Amino acid sequence: MKVELLPSCLPAGEAQFLVTFLVNDHVAIDAGSLGLLADLERQRRVRHVFLTHEHIDHIATLPIFLENVYDPGPDSVELLASPDVLDFIHRDIFNGRVWPDFFELSTASDSFVRGTPVVAGEPITRAGLTIMPVTVSHCVDTLGYVVDDGRVAVAFPSDTGPTEQFWERLDALPRLDVVFLEVSFPNRLASLATATGHHCSASFIEEIRRLRRDVRWIVVHRKARYAAEIAAEIAAAGPRNVEFVAPGRVYEV
Ligand SMILES: [Zn+2]
Ligand SMILES: [Zn+2]
């Protein structure tokens, strides 16, 4: 499986402002930076976009992406998310003011986008991947996804603070190889992390011990102004198998 966290700063560098993971060629998780890919062919190959929640860093360029890849005809991008998130996206973004209502404009013969609701615990298969939505613990209802290609499995918990259910689900899976887990704040802002449903460095270290299996942990979603502070705190705790994501690097797992 190929996984890339798309770069989201200019010029492209390590800072992460937005969230889009590309999985192989045809699946994206979140659309924070998806519409910024300079290679329009790469954008066009993405046919299924799974959204974790409606926060702007996860959906910012969804309207731009759908505009970029629209081709007149019946085939269109599929947007997969919880029913609530699909509704928010339609009402608050594709509402004919902020952006054209691509849902209403879509017909059987000429489609911009198709919405497909997903449910926590019910896996769905797309582009040769089995994708399982799992509830996490953020300040709004949020789904993480576990992507399995039949050989390896990768977990994308999205934005979350401490959660037990997610790790129980992951412990029960037949395989799990990599987890892209967030750390948003340094320890001095632990109370803000708790209030907003995110991890600080210390809660991240506690959290990775909840999983009973050995995996490769890749830290994502560090707020750019705290990135170095978080890296130092995690390094000082000395956990095994933890690294920091390199945006734009293709992880072959
Ligand atoms: Zn969020
Ligand atoms: Zn976020």
Domains and CATH numbers, the chain: 2-252 (3.60.15.10)
Tally DSSP H helices, then E strands, for the chain.
Answer: 9, 14
Q: What is the pLDDT of residue 221?
A: 98
* Residue 235: pLDDT band with limits 50, 70, 90: very high
- The answer to whether the beta carbons of residues 25 and 56 sit under 8 Å apart is no
Percentages (nearest 5) of helix, strand, coil residues in the chain: 30, 25, 45
Nearest one of 8, 1, 2 to 247, comparing CA atoms: 8
Among all ligands shown, which has an atom nearest to the Cα of 53? 1
Distance between CA atoms of 250 and 1, rounded to whole angstroms?
10
Distance between CA atoms of 35 and 45, rounded to whole angstroms?
12
Distance of CA 74 from the midpoint of ligand 2 (Å) = 32
User: How much is the CA Rg of the chain, to the nearest whole Å?
Assistant: 18
Q: What is the pLDDT of residue 157?
A: 98
Distance of CA 55 from the midpoint of ligand 2 (Å) = 6
Region 212-228: what's the mean pLDDT? Answer: 97
Strand ranges inside the chain, DSSP E: 2-5, 21-23, 27-29, 48-50, 77-81, 113-117, 124-126, 129-135, 143-148, 153-156, 178-182, 216-220, 242-244, 250-252
Find the helix packing angle between 227-237 and 201-208, rounded to 10°: 40
Tokens standing for residue 152: 């390896």
φ, ψ of residue 251 to 5 degrees: the values are: -85, 120
- The answer to whether the beta carbons of residues 173 and 146 sit under 8 Å apart is yes
Distance of CA 195 from the midpoint of ligand 2 (Å) = 14
Distance of CA 74 from the midpoint of ligand 1 (Å) = 33
Q: What is the pLDDT of residue 104?
A: 96
Q: What is the pLDDT of residue 26?
A: 98
Three-state secondary structure call for residue 102: helix
Region 26-53: what's the mean pLDDT? Answer: 98
Region 42-49: what's the mean pLDDT? Answer: 98
* Residue 150: pLDDT band with limits 50, 70, 90: very high
Region 174-186: what's the mean pLDDT? Answer: 98
Distance of CA 226 from the midpoint of ligand 1 (Å) = 17
Among all ligands shown, which has an atom nearest to the Cα of 58? 2
Contacts of 188 (CB under 8 A, 6+ apart): none
Q: Sign (positive/negative) of CA torsion 219, 128, 136, 214?
A: negative
Region 60-89: what's the mean pLDDT? Answer: 97
* Residue whose entry in the numeric block shows the structure tokens 């949020």: 142
Distance between CA atoms of 28 and 200, rounded to whole angstroms?
26
Nearest one of 199, 201, 194 to 235, comparing CA atoms: 201
- Bridge partners, 115 (sequence order): 79
Distance between CA atoms of 40 and 68, rounded to whole angstroms?
7
Q: Average pLDDT, whole number, for the chain?
A: 97
Q: What is the pLDDT of residue 58?
A: 98
Distance of CA 85 from the midpoint of ligand 1 (Å) = 12
